[in-house]
């Protein structure tokens, strides 16, 4: 049984974590922990992948006598879980492989090693859980183990605050999920998913559950405005854990949303299809704009996760809109787009975080303004990172483009929707998606260009050395996967078919039997895309061009000083920096989105002081939502604080008053 095997794997991970507590000080612990994690996740990846391709092994259920006494712990392996298991364990295996090399430089392995396998186990457990209690337990376990990993370097400035904010937001999200499951279970209290599925809640309750699921899963995934913790917490962890948190844990959150809204909640209402895509569109644009303003490489990547979560939620929301209007084929397309983006994002985001980790390991720097020229010192890392950048910027022939293309195709089906609001709203969301895709390209030109190209800005960047073999071994398969999923998307779409069928009742046409491996979501006359042909054509045209030119024209070249319009400056600080690269975009969008203020401080003539440019960016959701909330909480807490210092008479009056109030409530209730 696949399910039992997976549970044994989770147990093995937990055991490894426990054992790591005891032996973290040993030198071999690092290799052992990551080695075991690598083995377990690889096996789980293969098992889940096989069960997705051959769905005969799916559908097993298992009840263990742990957890709540009257409930037990239910586990089930269905297509949705199997797909997300593939995502989690692929990311997990890659992170373990990376950790084999990267983890050796860890200054405090005792704070990382026990929690790393526990974190992996928690994520796997969320996917297999088939009752509310197990789900929430696993969810919270995942949150806490990742929190511990965020706090691994808690002495570094900012990390403790990031961990605190993460803990707060994670508890808040779990609270929302507890309430959502409470509403789903209803007064009878059937917490097993099987029971919930059979009794969908009435419309008003379903709406409340949707909102709670958006808050609960959205806060973990990073939907704006619940994203604030993410760019602080993800980069604070060691890089392979950052990759797991950004590339994989956010996907577990997406899984939570899909499980609740698509599986348990019954048929959707049409306005869900307005709220979710709009949130997704705003999240996508805000996320990429935040990322553009950032010059900390890891934080840039974390902000960019917010953008991709937005794209995924656009797809999910479209699927809801189509499903509410009984258009299963269109819903299948939108859901395929969303889930394919889940897979793609987990691949390239892990790859990019590994690249950032390799840079961090080689230079000790995360700040792009202090890097540069690394392409000469770390050519292999640079190449892998470049592939990741191209893929995440949705450039053909890589994989990011395929899922965004499918999302666009789903958006183009929106005029068939009967609701006027959706007819108008969804093309506007399409505009937001197009904007975010274009900005993403700018963002990653900056990320790669400033970090790896140009001239080294500091001594550490000048002396960087290529990263170790384990790390490269983790990056290159992911880079290959970016290309492979881009040029052969048909196979990946077909592998998703059982998931889509289980959730929407429809399927895309089978893709891998079409000529030349083209993908055709609806009909050939409507739209088609063939990444393989494009890739071959580009490779052929470039190769042919190079061959012809080198043979018939000129192949001579020589090195000289840069031209730079006649005024090359030897100092690397005259290069464009991350800040100056994004300055035009800051000018265009920043004044509205970030309330950016620029002040030029030019000293008076004769004053030898340097001129300065002050830029001030505000985080609007933080100012408008979080600061007032924090102020309110502290205000209320201060008021309530007085209750600690009442006299005995005061306490007695309070108890009496409470009793009377409760009795009155009870009498009114009946």
Partner 1 sequence: MAVILDAIVQLGEMLVVLVLAPLLAGYVRTLKARLLGRRGPPLVQPYRDLLRLLRKEVVLAHGASWVFRVAPYLVFATTWVAAALVPTFATGLLFNYAADMIAIVALLGSARFMLALAGLDVGTSFGGIGSSREMMIASLAEPAMLMVVFTLSLLAGSTQLSSIAAFMQGPDVGLRVSLALALVALVMVAIAENARIPVDNPATHLELTMVHEAMILEYSGRHLALIEAASYVKLLLYVSVIACAFAPWGIAVSGQGFAAYLLGLAAYVAKLAAGGFLLAVFETSIAKMRVFRVPDFLGAALMLGLLATLLLFVSRVT
Q: Determine, following the binding rule CB under 8 A, whether residue 376 of this chain makes contact with partner 1.
A: yes
- Burial (0-12, 13-18, 19+ Cβ within 10 Å), 369: middle
User: Which range in 271-279, 361-369, 405-413, 601-609 contacts partner 1 by CB under 8 A?
Assistant: 405-413
Nearer to partner 1, 156 or 376 (CB): 376
Q: Determine, following the binding rule CB under 8 A, whether residue 70 of this chain makes contact with partner 1.
A: no
User: Which range in 299-307, 314-322, 482-490, 530-538 contacts partner 1 by CB under 8 A?
Assistant: 530-538
354: which 2 tokens?
Answer: 């590994």
Nearer to partner 1, 553 or 640 (CB): 553
Nearer to partner 1, 20 or 375 (CB): 375
Q: Which of residues 162-191 bind partner 1 (CB under 8 A)?
A: none
Q: How far lies 662's CA from each of 234, 653, 654, in Å?
A: 45, 14, 12
Q: Which of 178, 205, 453, 502 binds partner 1 (CB under 8 A)?
A: 453
Determine the Cα–Cα distance for residues 39 and 9; give it in Å rounded to an integer.
Answer: 10
Nearest to 487, CA basis, from 516, 454, 456, 465: 516
Bridge-partner residues for 73, per DSSP?
Answer: 64
Nearer to partner 1, 423 or 597 (CB): 423
For residue 107, report the phi and psi dihedrals to the nearest 5 degrees: -80, -30
Q: Which of 27, 469, 587, 595 binds partner 1 (CB under 8 A)?
A: 587
User: Which range in 61-69, 108-116, 566-574, 643-651 contacts partner 1 by CB under 8 A?
Assistant: 566-574
Q: Judge whether 333 and 410 are in contact, CB under 8 Å.
A: yes
Q: Determine, following the binding rule CB under 8 A, whether residue 350 of this chain makes contact with partner 1.
A: no
User: Which range in 13-21, 229-237, 361-369, 448-456 contacts partner 1 by CB under 8 A?
Assistant: 448-456
Q: Which of 195, 211, 506, 585 binds partner 1 (CB under 8 A)?
A: 585
Closest approach, Cβ 638 to partner 1, in A, equals 46
Closest approach, Cβ 407 to partner 1, in A, equals 10
Q: Which of residues 381-400 bind partner 1 (CB under 8 A)?
A: 386, 390, 393-396
Nearer to partner 1, 208 or 536 (CB): 536
Determine the Cα–Cα distance for residues 540 and 546; give it in Å rounded to an integer.
Answer: 10
Nearest to 359, CA basis, from 375, 344, 336: 375
Q: Judge whether 67 and 133 are in contact, CB under 8 Å.
A: yes
Number of neighbouring beta carbons within 10 Å of residue 119: 31
What secondary structure does DSSP assign to 153-166, as a single string? GTTSTTHHHHHHHH
Nearer to partner 1, 88 or 417 (CB): 417
Q: Determine, following the binding rule CB under 8 A, whether residue 538 of this chain makes contact with partner 1.
A: yes
User: Which range in 351-359, 436-444, 636-644, 651-659 contacts partner 1 by CB under 8 A?
Assistant: 436-444
Nearest to 302, CA basis, from 259, 352, 262, 254: 352
Contacts of 28 (CB under 8 A, 6+ apart): none
Determine the Cα–Cα distance for residues 334 and 403; give it in Å rounded to an integer.
Answer: 10
Q: Which of residues 459-518 bind partner 1 (CB under 8 A)?
A: 516, 518
Q: Judge whether 354 and 478 are in contact, CB under 8 Å.
A: yes
Q: Which of 572, 615, 618, 620 binds partner 1 (CB under 8 A)?
A: 572
Q: Which of residues 129-168 bind partner 1 (CB under 8 A)?
A: none
Nearest to 184, CA basis, from 75, 128, 265, 67: 265
Q: Judge whether 146 and 169 are in contact, CB under 8 Å.
A: no
Q: Which of residues 408-427 bind partner 1 (CB under 8 A)?
A: 408-409, 411-412, 415, 420, 423-424, 427
Q: Which of residues 220-249 bind partner 1 (CB under 8 A)?
A: none
- Residue 178's H or E segment, with its range, is helix 159-185
User: Which range in 2-10, 268-276, 490-498, 563-571 contacts partner 1 by CB under 8 A?
Assistant: 563-571
Determine the Cα–Cα distance for residues 650 and 639; give it in Å rounded to an integer.
Answer: 15
Nearer to partner 1, 164 or 408 (CB): 408
Nearer to partner 1, 41 or 344 (CB): 344
Nearer to partner 1, 114 or 372 (CB): 372
Q: Determine, following the binding rule CB under 8 A, whether residue 455 of this chain makes contact with partner 1.
A: yes
Nearer to partner 1, 512 or 580 (CB): 580
Q: Judge whether 354 and 361 are in contact, CB under 8 Å.
A: no
User: Which range in 3-11, 234-242, 430-438, 592-600 contacts partner 1 by CB under 8 A?
Assistant: 430-438
Nearer to partner 1, 3 or 306 (CB): 306
Q: Which of 430, 477, 486, 489 binds partner 1 (CB under 8 A)?
A: 430
Q: Determine, following the binding rule CB under 8 A, whether residue 114 of this chain makes contact with partner 1.
A: no
Q: Judge whether 77 and 502 are in contact, CB under 8 Å.
A: no
Peptide bond just before 66 cis, omega within 30 deg = no
């Amino acid at each position: 049984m696949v399910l039992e095997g997976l549970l044994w794997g989770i147990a093995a991970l937990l055991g490894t974590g426990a054992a790591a507590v005891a032996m973290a000080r040993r030198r071999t612990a690092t290799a052992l922990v990551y080695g075991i994690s690598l083995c377990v996740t690889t096996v789980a990846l293969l098992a889940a992948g096989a069960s997705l391709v051959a769905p005969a092994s799916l559908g097993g259920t298992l009840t263990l006598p742990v957890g709540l006494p009257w409930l037990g712990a239910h586990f089930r392996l269905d297509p949705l879980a199997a797909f997300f298991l593939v995502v989690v364990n692929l990311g997990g295996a890659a992170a373990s492989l990376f950790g084999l090399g990267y983890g050796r430089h860890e200054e405090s392995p005792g704070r990382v090693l026990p929690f790393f396998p526990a974190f992996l186990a928690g994520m796997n457990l969320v996917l297999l859980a088939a009752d509310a209690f197990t789900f929430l337990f696993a969810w919270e376990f995942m949150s806490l183990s990742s929190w511990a990993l965020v706090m691994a370097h808690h002495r570094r400035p900012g990390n403790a605050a990031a961990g605190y904010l993460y803990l707060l937001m994670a508890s808040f999200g779990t609270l929302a999920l507890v309430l959502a499951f409470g509403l789903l279970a209803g007064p009878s209290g059937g917490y097993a998913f099987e029971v919930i599925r059979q009794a969908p809640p009435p419309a008003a309750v379903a709406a409340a559950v949707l909102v709670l699921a958006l808050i609960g899963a959205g806060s973990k995934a990073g939907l704006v405005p619940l994203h604030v913790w993410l760019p602080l917490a993800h980069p604070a962890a060691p890089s392979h854990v950052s990759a797991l948190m950004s590339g994989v844990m956010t996907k577990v959150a997406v899984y939570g949303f899909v499980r609740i809204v698509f599986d348990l909640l019954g048929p959707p209402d049409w306005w869900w299809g307005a709220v979710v895509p709009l949130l997704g569109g705003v999240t996508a644009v805000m996320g990429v704009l935040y990322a553009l303003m950032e010059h900390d490489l890891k934080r840039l990547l974390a902000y960019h996760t917010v953008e991709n979560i937005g794209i995924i939620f656009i797809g999910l929301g479209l699927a809801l809109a189509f499903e509410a209007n009984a258009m299963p084929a269109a819903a299948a397309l939108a859901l395929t787009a969303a889930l394919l983006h889940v897979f793609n994002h987990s691949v390239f985001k892990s790859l990019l975080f590994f690249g950032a980790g390799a840079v961090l390991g080689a230079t000790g720097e995360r700040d792009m303004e202090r890097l540069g020229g690394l392409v000469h010192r770390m050519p292999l890392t640079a190449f892998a990172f470049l592939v990741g950048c191209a893929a995440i910027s949705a450039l053909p022939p890589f994989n990011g483009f395929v899922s965004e293309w499918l999302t666009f195709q789903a958006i183009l089906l929106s005029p068939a929707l009967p609701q006027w609001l959706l007819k108008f709203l969804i093309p506007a969301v399409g505009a937001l998606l197009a904007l975010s895709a274009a900005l993403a390209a700018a963002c990653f030109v900056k990320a790669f260009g400033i970090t790896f190209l140009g001239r080294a800005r500091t001594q550490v960047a000048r002396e960087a050395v290529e990263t170790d073999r384990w790390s490269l071994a983790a990056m290159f398969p992911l880079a290959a996967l970016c290309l492979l999923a881009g040029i052969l998307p048909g196979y990946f779409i077909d592998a998703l078919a059982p998931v889509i069928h289980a959730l929407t009742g429809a399927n895309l046409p089978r893709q891998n039997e079409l000529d030349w491996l083209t993908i055709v979501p609806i009909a050939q006359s409507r739209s088609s895309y063939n990444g393989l042909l494009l890739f071959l054509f580009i490779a052929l045209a470039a190769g042919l061009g190079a061959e012809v030119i080198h043979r018939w024209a000129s192949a001579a070249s020589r090195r000289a000083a840069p031209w730079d319009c006649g005024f090359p400056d030897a100092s690397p600080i005259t290069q464009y920096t991350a800040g100056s690269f994004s300055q035009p975009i800051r000018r265009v969008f920043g004044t509205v989105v970030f309330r950016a203020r620029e002040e030029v401080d030019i000293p008076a003539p004769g004053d030898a002081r340097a001129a300065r440019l002050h830029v001030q960016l505000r985080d609007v959701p933080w100012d408008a939502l979080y600061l007032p909330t924090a102020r309110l909480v502290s205000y209320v807490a201060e008021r309530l604080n007085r209750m600690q210092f009442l006299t005995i008479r005061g306490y007695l009056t309070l108890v009496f008053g409470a009793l009377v109030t409760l009795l009155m409530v009870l009498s009114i209730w009946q």
